[in-house]
């Protein structure tokens, strides 16, 4: 009760908010970034060109995360929809002003900084849906008309992301939106109704995919047909993971990574690089760290006393878990290669800033878990 009174009477008391930050969770994020430094040091053969930049980016992202954590969750709720429409405008601008790379138009330059709006949209979508559902009663959740606006809020950006084209990110965005719908209390039979035609739509969509997208799926199913071409990446990834054995070949060792047989080892296949050098045991340690971060996010969602915070925390945790699942499954050859990085480990500034922005929102939920929203419970 004393903590709740403190937050209501002194909402901008930074010292009180810093005291409520989950510093153990911050330590877990720093540990994961440390794993990234080790991996990128190995990928580059030294601090340059990847590892030193990784440290600087994480330091800046950590400041961003703490700044967002200090922001009142009620102010974040008010800005949720404006932030969503800003992200949507950036996503729409990609179609006209975006930079083309690897056959896709996914990036846009703002002030000389290259960013990928689709990554920002996933965070904005979580906020917008949480703001929409935060005061929804069970009766309103059963009204199909009430669900039309949030459904459009999911489908419009998913359509724009598909147009780039970026199938993997579009599927993750839809899955994150679906998770928030489910957590908000949408009946399960409505999900079944929406998912029922998916097999038919998937067959239709396969024949309308871009050539490189069909090639990824066909390579996933039969990588041995073109071992030196389309199937090269996944075959080398499996070889590297298998060569790690139980204990690995040692830091800065490993034939596939050291001799540059392993492609994109600083981004897409960085988990394979770690598996080759530190083996099964090292991979389990890294997976355990990732699981602790995901479960910690879920725990913060459960402890929050207002619906907005619960939905935001759950959406951020699901988004992070999908990053992890897709990247590691891709490295293991369980799903087609999709170009999804391992958060806080892979090289890249845009993904790191977006992920840490999400963790800042998650931490804000934890810091303000007991606040009272106006007009009743949030």
| C-alpha span between 56 and 65 (Å, rounded) | 14
What's residue 94's pLDDT? 86
pLDDT value of residue 339: 73
Segments in 304-348 forming alpha helices (H): 307-331
- Considering only CA atoms, which of 176, 172, 192 is closest in space to residue 184? 176
User: Which pLDDT belongs to residue 88?
Assistant: 95
pLDDT at residue number 13: 74
Give the per-residue pLDDT at 163.
83
Instruction: Report yes or no: 308 and 130 within 8 Å, Cβ to Cβ.
Output: yes
179 CA to centre of own chain: 13
Distance, in Å, from the CA atom of 168 to the CA atom of 157, rounded to the nearest integer, reads: 13
Contact predicate 164/173, CB 8 Å? no
Q: In 3D, which of 369, 377, 376 has the Cα closest to residue 7?
A: 369
**What does DSSP say about strands 104-110 and 113-115: parallel, antiparallel, or unpaired?**
antiparallel
Give the 3-state secondary structure of residue 229: coil
Determine the Cα–Cα distance for residues 274 and 114; give it in Å rounded to an integer.
28
**pLDDT (0 to 100) of residue 150:** 95
Cα–Cα distance measured from residue 340 to residue 352, given in angstroms and rounded to the nearest whole number: 12
Domain ranges of the chain: 80-336
Half-sphere CA count of 66, side-chain side, radius 13 A:
18
Coil, helix or strand for 317? helix
pLDDT along the chain (378 residues), means of 10: 43 77 97 96 91 96 96 95 96 76 65 81 97 87 88 94 83 94 84 69 62 64 62 80 89 78 84 93 97 97 95 97 93 81 89 94 95 66
pLDDT of residue 376: 47
Residue from 190, 184, 174, 45 nearest 118 by CA: 174
Q: Write the DSSP assignment of 226-272 as a string of letters.
A: STTTTTHHHHHHHHHHHHTTTT-S-TT--HHHHTT-STTTTTTTHHH
């Amino acid at each position: 009760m004393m903590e709740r009174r403190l937050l209501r009477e002194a909402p901008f008391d930074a010292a009180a908010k810093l005291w409520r930050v989950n510093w153990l969770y911050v330590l877990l994020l720093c540990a994961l970034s440390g794993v990234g430094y080790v991996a990128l040091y190995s990928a580059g053969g030294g601090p340059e060109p990847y590892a030193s930049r990784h440290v600087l980016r994480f330091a800046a992202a950590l400041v961003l995360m703490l700044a967002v954590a200090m922001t009142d969750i009620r102010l974040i709720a008010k800005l949720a929809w404006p932030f969503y429409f800003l992200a949507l405008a950036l996503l729409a601008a990609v179609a006209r002003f975006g930079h083309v790379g690897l056959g896709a138009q996914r990036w846009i330059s703002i002030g000389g900084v290259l960013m990928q709006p689709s990554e920002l949209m996933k965070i904005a979508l979580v906020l917008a849906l949480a703001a929409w559902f935060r005061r929804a009663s069970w009766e309103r959740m059963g009204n199909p008309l009430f669900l039309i606006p949030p459904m459009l809020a999911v489908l419009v950006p998913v359509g724009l992301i598909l147009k780039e084209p970026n199938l993997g990110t579009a599927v993750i965005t839809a899955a994150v939106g679906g998770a928030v719908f489910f957590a908000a209390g949408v009946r399960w039979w409505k999900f079944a109704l929406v998912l029922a035609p998916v097999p038919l739509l998937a067959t239709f969509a396969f024949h309308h995919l871009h050539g490189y997208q069909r090639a990824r799926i066909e390579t996933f199913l039969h990588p041995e047909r073109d071992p030196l071409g389309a199937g090269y990446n996944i075959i080398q990834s499996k070889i590297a993971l298998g060569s790690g054995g139980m204990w690995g070949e040692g830091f800065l060792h490993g034939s596939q990574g050291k001799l540059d047989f392993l492609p994109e080892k600083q981004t897409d296949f960085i988990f394979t690089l770690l598996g080759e050098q530190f083996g099964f045991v090292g991979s389990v340690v890294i997976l355990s760290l990732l699981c602790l971060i995901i479960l910690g996010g879920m725990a913060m969602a459960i402890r929050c006393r207002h619906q907005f915070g619960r939905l935001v925390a759950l959406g951020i945790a699901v988004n992070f878990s999908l990053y992890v699942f897709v990247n590691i499954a891709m490295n293991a050859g369980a799903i087609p290669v999709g170009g999804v990085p391992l958060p806080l480990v892979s090289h890249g500034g845009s993904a790191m800033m977006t992920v840490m922005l999400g963790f800042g929102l998650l931490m804000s939920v934890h810091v303000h878990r007991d606040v009272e929203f106006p007009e009743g419970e949030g």
